[in-house]
Chain A
């Protein structure tokens, strides 16, 4: 597609339920990132995928968070047993490797997750 696509755009869930957030990166972009932005905060790195390499999961806040990327394209971020502190905007971004420093990433519009 022309841009990074994320779905759903909004998700309200009850505390304790599991949620899945989807990201469809720009075709050909081998690097894919998940970030989250809590209210009034900057962007918090969650996880990074690059091609077929093992992902960098160092930003995942707990073992309730997991992500996968199938076929080097679409990625799913799963949050199990959601807590209220998980409420945030979850942003996906993609890029071509080697261009990050100069051009940064291309972001999707995000999924606003509200845990009630």
Chain B
């Protein structure tokens, strides 16, 4: 049973436009959500996180939105740049647990 789902395996966006990556979860005990970015042949790198007590967190071009009632979060990248082309993973955790539960990832392709 997948507790964290990223339903889009890939997404193609024009450079300069907004990229929106989506993630759904099923476990209401999750209270932190994280986004990671992964380039080929590298390990995932932490991008941004959000606590369940917030509905938005912003860091430069990256904004994460959380809709707890819908158990849905999204990562917005504005404006999209060629270097943003990577696989993006959504992950979730409960404070009481030391594990992150991961989605399958979405491959973002930024077209010039």
Contact = CB atoms under 8 A, between A and B. Distances in A.
Interface of A: 4, 9, 31, 40-43, 45, 48, 50, 56, 91, 93, 97, 100-110
Contacts of B70: none
B99 A104 contact: no
B62 interface: no
Given A91-B43, A101-B31, A104-B49, A42 B98 contact: no
27 contacts: A9-B41, A40-B104, A42-B6, A42-B103, A42-B105, A43-B91, A43-B100, A43-B102, A48-B98, A50-B98, A56-B98, A91-B44, A97-B98, A101-B31, A101-B51, A102-B32, A102-B49, A103-B49, A104-B49, A104-B100, A105-B46, A107-B44, A108-B43, A109-B42, A109-B43, A110-B41, A110-B43
A42 B102 CA distance: 6
Interface string B1-37: 0001010010000000000000000000001101010
A20 B49 CA distance: 33
Contacts of A97: 98
A109 B91 CA distance: 18
A35 to B, nearest CB: 8
**Interface band, chain B:** 20 to 34
Contact of A107 (B43, B98, B103): B43
Nearest to A58: B99
Contacts of A41: 104
A39 to B, nearest CB: 11
Nearest to A106: B46
A42 B41 CA distance: 15
B95 interface: yes
A20 B89 CA distance: 27
Given A43-B44, A100-B98, A102-B32, 8 more contacts: A4-B43, A40-B9, A42-B6, A91-B43, A101-B31, A101-B49, A101-B51, A109-B43
A79 to B, nearest CB: 19
